[in-house]
Chains A and B, each alone.
Chain A
Amino acid sequence: MADPMKIRANVVGDSTEVKVLMSHEMETGQRKDAQGKTIPAWFIQNVTVAHNGKPVLNAQWGPAIAKNPFLSFKFKGGAKGDKIEITWVDSRGEKRTDEAVIA
């Protein structure tokens, strides 16, 4: 199973800043292995972020997002102790959801 995400959510002024690192190969499908065989594409395609159950960001990614992806953004509101839930789904249909609490 994929490793957990590393999520940081902090109140900054009247917004909440979310920074997340995900553990994923983000294989492009363009690389070849040592035997010269093409390594099939394998990458995160969809990311959703929800604040207390309400979606705040949706993303679609291609394989050009760097390996072990990083994402940062802010949304209005959010208070210490609120729940941030992030889910990704990759091109193999694997899915991972992690939660963090706003600090």
Chain B
Amino acid sequence: MMRVRRGVAPVAAFVLALVSAFGAPAVPAQGNAVDEIAKYRAALQDGNPAELWEARGADLWKQKRGPKTASLEQCDLGLGPGVVKGAYARLPRYFADADRVMDLETRIVWCMVTLQGFSEADAKKGPFGGPDRKADMEAYVAYVTSESRGVKMNVALDHPKEREAYRLGEKMFYFRGGTHDFACATCHGEDGKRIRLQDLPNLTQTAGAQKAYTTWPAYRVSQGELRSFQWRLNDCFRQQRFPELVFASDASIALTMFLARNANGAAFDAPAIKR
């Protein structure tokens, strides 16, 4: 009795549920699919595997590593050497010692080079984890960002280079190129749009930028990996049909500046968990 196969009927039911959720006819099933997806997302919040990355990052942060056998504990993320709490909510920012604007990943590379003695190339190697390789960078990012949870985004445009990065980032956001003429703005420039069934945040508006920026990095369920903001940009450009965005490149920092600044005022709430 319970072995009856229900191949076709459930699919039809699902289609109906979705049609009623997104289409015109108001039937009792209205909203069910949306509610159930919300329930799904809520159920995942209870145990976010990003915590595994946070713990690993916190541990790695204290380990003596590199040619200088030093830890990253004295890394200055903008609030002074050794201060991690709240640092991410103020990044990217201008760093006088490097005389440039840096986002978190770029600053971690800087600390790996200056404190631990790694070459820049080694520090930037393999920033994104895969099935067979865990990326230390993503663990560092998980740890540092988790120390800004609940802190209001407060990215400054005080230094001329900070203002320049923001303006460049804005231009890049609207830059159309590649085989498909896509820009970031193609998908993220209007309210209430979606691609297939995925909602697209409007990153040109405060609300959209806040919602999106404060929920990265995230544990990506579809990949079983913690993904940093650098990864988010890298993968957006892949789908834009652009060449590959170089990790910690000037363009990645400028775009991060544009988006982080637009998120000012909202409480940071990551690492999150996403589809």
| Interface residues of A, Cβ cutoff 8 Å to B | 3-4, 6, 19-21, 23, 25, 27, 39, 66-68, 70, 72
Contacts and interface: CB of A to CB of B under 8 A. Distances in A.
A21 B51 contact: yes
B46 A19 contact: yes
Interface of B: 46-49, 51-52, 55-56, 131, 219, 224
Contacts of A20: 47
B132 to A, nearest CB: 9
Interface of B is mostly: loop
Contact of B49 (A19, A39, A68, A72): A68
Contacts of B131: 25, 27, 39
28 contacts: A3-B52, A3-B55, A3-B56, A4-B55, A6-B55, A19-B46, A19-B47, A20-B47, A21-B47, A21-B48, A21-B49, A21-B51, A21-B52, A23-B52, A23-B56, A25-B131, A25-B224, A27-B131, A39-B131, A66-B224, A68-B49, A68-B52, A68-B219, A68-B224, A70-B46, A70-B47, A72-B46, A72-B47
Nearest to B54: A6
A1 B52 CA distance: 14
A27 to B, nearest CB: 8
Contacts of B55: 3-4, 6
Nearest to B56: A3
Contacts of B219: 68
